[in-house]
Amino acid sequence: MSKSGLTGIVSSGVRRVFLVILIAAVLVILLLPRQTQGLLDGISHPVAEILAVPIQALSSLDFSIRDTWNHYLALQGVYEQNLQLQEEIDQLHAKMSQLQEQLIVSEQLSALLNFQEDALMETVAARVIGRNATNWYRAIIIDKGSEDGISNEMGVVAATGVVGRVVNVNPSTAIVLLLTDPNIAIAGMIQRSRDEGIVQGTTQGLVRMKYLPPLSTIEMGDVVVTSGLTGDYPRGLPIGHIRQLETGDAELFQSADIQPLVDFSKLEGVLVVTSSGQLQDSELLPMIVPSR
């Protein structure tokens, strides 16, 4: 018999055996259902336990991925909301800062206008629009000039005291030398003792009162006011307080350092004295402070 013929007989026999086993299995299932069910249950239980492990793992992984994604979406929304809230907070801070600045300026201008109404002199209100940025001189620039009746040598004051003097005038602006500049000098007086002298700035940016009588009874804290002997300021405008005395046996005059009442670095508005009505002792302005 040939080899091919033998292979065909074997294959045909295998098919017959497989067919007989299949028919027997079907008959067993049909004729013995309870026994078959028990057998299948016994086989399916361990198989189910084996298959449950990867299925549960996949289910947990899916839940974890969904939970992480939901958290990401939620955090993304919170992040965007925080950005929006931060932007609104920044806008509110900017508005608050502007309102605070307007309040400060309004308070200063209100005090200045009140002083202008009470002062026995003619003045022109002006805003400070510039400050000297060099060390050559100490000055401010105001927004009023010759068109507003401003001229050189006019005195300049604030609600708290003397500021300086106009030294340069343009049609719409003017330069004011501050009291701390050494190129300005005004006639001053110790309010308590009535001793007179010259108030002048120094190169260090201080204010000093010079040429006081040698027998003057100056005390620390004495108030210094304008004497009214010149036409730029009326009598009785406050300048500052005596903060340090300088005396010497060989000196013909006394001198003293003054602490100005005006904070020149924070000036927002000033009054230019266009006509100085002289104040009597009984009419000294209410802003004059008592001696310390």
With a threshold of 0.75, does the pTM exceed it? Answer: no
Q: Report pLDDT for 26.
A: 61
pLDDT band at 154, cuts 50/70/90?
very high
CA dist., res. 192 & res. 290, Å (int): 9
Q: Is the CB of residue 224 less than 8 Å from the CB of residue 199?
A: yes
Please give the share of the chain, as a percent, with pLDDT higher than 90. Answer: 30
| Residue 187: how many other CB atoms lie within 10 Å | 16
Lowest mean per-residue pLDDT among 140-149, 258-267, 269-278: 269-278
Question: For 261-286, what is the mean pLDDT?
Answer: 71
For 123-279, the fitting CATH number among 3.20.20.70, 2.40.10.340, 1.20.1530.20, 3.40.50.300 is 2.40.10.340
Question: For 93-103, what is the mean pLDDT?
Answer: 70
Residue 236 scores a pLDDT above 70 = yes
Q: Report pLDDT for 292.
A: 39
Q: State the chain's maximal CA–CA distance in angstroms.
A: 158
Question: For 38-58, what is the mean pLDDT?
Answer: 58
Q: Report pLDDT for 233.
A: 86
Residue 108 scores a pLDDT above 90 = no
